[in-house]
Copies of this chain bind each other. A is one copy, B any other.
């Protein structure tokens, strides 16, 4: 059976958001939140523009999805994010009781897995979807940034 709305489909939407961040000079991370194959939040990292360390893509996506749903628990939702969540974002996802997290690239240094942040027991995790594309965008960003300084 053909299933058009799979994890790769939605991760591509998150990658589009990461590219918008890249164009703005932000660390290129994008996120979307999906309920029953419907995208209810599209966000990208805005820490530079907003001068705010809490403005990671995932944090904004959680706030935006809760606003859309009119309730703060995301237990029927899936988050797609182009980089493994950090401690802060994983901690927020814990509170949200989100059903599923799909991330693309791993973050061996500051990712929640390395740092042992606890997710909600009901949250499933899938990783590695479009990881190479997401990593390549981040790599390009940091190389260009280094060359500017």
Contacts and interface: CB of A to CB of B under 8 A. Distances in A.
A63 B72 contact: no
Contacts of A52: 62-63, 66-67, 72
A55 to B, nearest CB: 8
B92 A54 contact: yes
Interface in A47-89: 47, 51-54, 59, 62-63, 66-67, 70-73, 86-89
Nearest to A47: B72
Contacts of A118: 87, 115
Contact of A92 (B51, B53, B70, B94): B53
Contacts of A51: 66-67, 70-72
A116 B90 CA distance: 13
A138 to B, nearest CB: 17
A95 interface: yes
B95 A91 contact: no
A106 interface: no
6 contacts: A52-B66, A53-B92, A53-B95, A86-B91, A87-B87, A87-B118
